[in-house]
Amino acid sequence: MLYHLFEYINNHFSIPGSGVFKYISFRVAMAVIFSLIISMIFGKYIIKFLQRKQIGEEIRDLGLEGQMQKKGTPTMGGIIILLSIMIPVLLFCNLTNIYIILMIVSTIWLGLIGFLDDYIKVFRHNKEGLKGKFKIVGQIGLGLIVGLTMWFSDSIVVREKTSEIVIQTEQQMVDIKQSNVKSTITTIPFFKDNEFDYNMLIPGNEQTSALTWIVFVIIAILIITAVSNGANLTDGMDGLATGISAIIGVVLGILAYLSGNVIYAGYLNIMYIPNSGELVIFMGAFIGALIGFLWYNSYPAQVFMGDTGSLAIGGIIAVFAIMIRKELLIPILCGVFFAESLSVMMQIIYFKYTKRRYGAGRRIFKMTPLHHHFQKQGYAGIDAIIQKPKNPIPESKIVIRFWIITLLLAVISIVTLKLR
């Protein structure tokens, strides 16, 4: 809103300083600052409200150190994250930008699904929350919205080859715009030219065929579902999902800035995505909101984000990556989310297989998701049965080590831009 106000003032009154809102760097800085202020200052009032209303998720005793001490900690703190993202976005983003519109829809969409899940757990006293099939339907619905919008919208185009671009005249900029096309090409790490066309999965040569876009929409649905569920599973320790998501957000923000700037895209020989630079402002608000929330969510947590936050965070990361054509980087960049989800799937499949074959189910991990396996590493022998700890690994140490792994994966993800 402030962006549009100052744009109007600059165009009609030419007041000194009003043109500063044209610059993405300024608006990113303001988005980060505002999101930090909202989450850190107003967050404590929201936490007090949640405590006063006794909005706390029931905690099951899994025999983990310090687990029952968290009983009574308020949940649904994801409301803090969502407000801290949405307010700066509405203030500083160009709200006519198709990418920003999609990010707002994605944030609210999955935030509402997560809120409904938390509401059922807290107020209906149903430990299972919203049934899994309804969550999946919601995630598929968002995938359809994102994928079909990218297909039908004339505002979503790319310029595939930019290595020769050096803008010197206004006419050259016009030529660049005319060479922007609808495309199903995306970025893929470690391959020549760093590009992959979904059209290669379909027989025939028509690059923008409906069949190719159907494949693209299916991929979008799978990625959104996988990443949002992965973030949800990772949210099991104080500050774990928050810190990891903030690191991922920084990398995605850098990639969006490079892809949305024709000069940098040309220098790195990556596809140029017109108007996607506006996404950097959204990501600035996202990062600021998570860091501010971490103030209260770090060990020992004063509030849990709940599904209200975790589903929305995963969805934001997935949709953002899809729109800047970096979705195939997800297995690397979101490696911790991937490992957490994989550990759960492996545990379930192996348990069912061994139960059917040997009559008793066996486990690969001591406990899933994966972060709980490392907590259980401190249990040995009879202690593992009676659930008494023997030199347990502190929760905060596991969290920080997962952050470090994510930092390493973040560096690898950026390096893939030139490593081909």
pTM above 0.75, yes or no: yes
In sequence order, which residues have a C-beta less than 8 Å from that of residue 181 and are 6 or more positions away?
157, 158, 159, 160
Helix (H) or strand (E) holding 186, with range, is strand 185-187
CB 272 within 8 A of CB 18: no
Residue 244 confidence (pLDDT): 97
Give pLDDT, residue 382: 42
Tokens matching residue 221:
């649905």
What pLDDT does residue 394 have? Answer: 85
pLDDT for the residue numbered 184: 82
∠ CA 338-214-312, nearest 5°, is 40
Q: What angle do CA 1, 251, 36 make, to 5 degrees?
A: 45
Question: How is the chain split into domains, by residue range?
Answer: 2-346+394-415
pLDDT on residue 378: 60
pLDDT in tens, the chain (420 residues): 887 887 878 777 877 777 788 889 999 999 999 999 999 999 999 999 988 877 766 666 565 665 656 777 888 999 999 999 999 999 999 999 999 999 999 999 999 999 999 999 888 888 888 998 999 999 999 999 999 999 888 889 887 655 544 444 445 555 555 567 788 888 888 777 778 888 888 776 555 567 888 889 999 999 999 999 999 999 989 999 999 999 999 999 999 999 999 888 888 888 899 999 999 999 999 999 999 999 999 988 999 999 999 999 999 999 999 999 999 999 999 999 999 999 999 999 999 999 999 888 899 998 889 988 888 876 444 444 445 555 678 889 999 999 999 999 999 999 988 776
Which residues, in sequence order, are CB contacts of 364 under 8 Å at separation 6+? Answer: 343, 346, 347, 350
Contact 27, 281 (CB under 8 A): yes
104 touches 86 (CB < 8 A)? yes
DSSP string, 246-314: HHHHHHHHHHHHHHT-HHHHHHHT--B-TTGGGHHHHHHHHHHHHHHHHHHHSSSPS---HHHHHHHHH
Q: Which residues contact 335 (CB under 8 A, 6 or more apart)?
A: 405, 406, 409
Give yes or no for a contact between 251 and 333, defined as CB atoms under 8 angstroms apart: yes
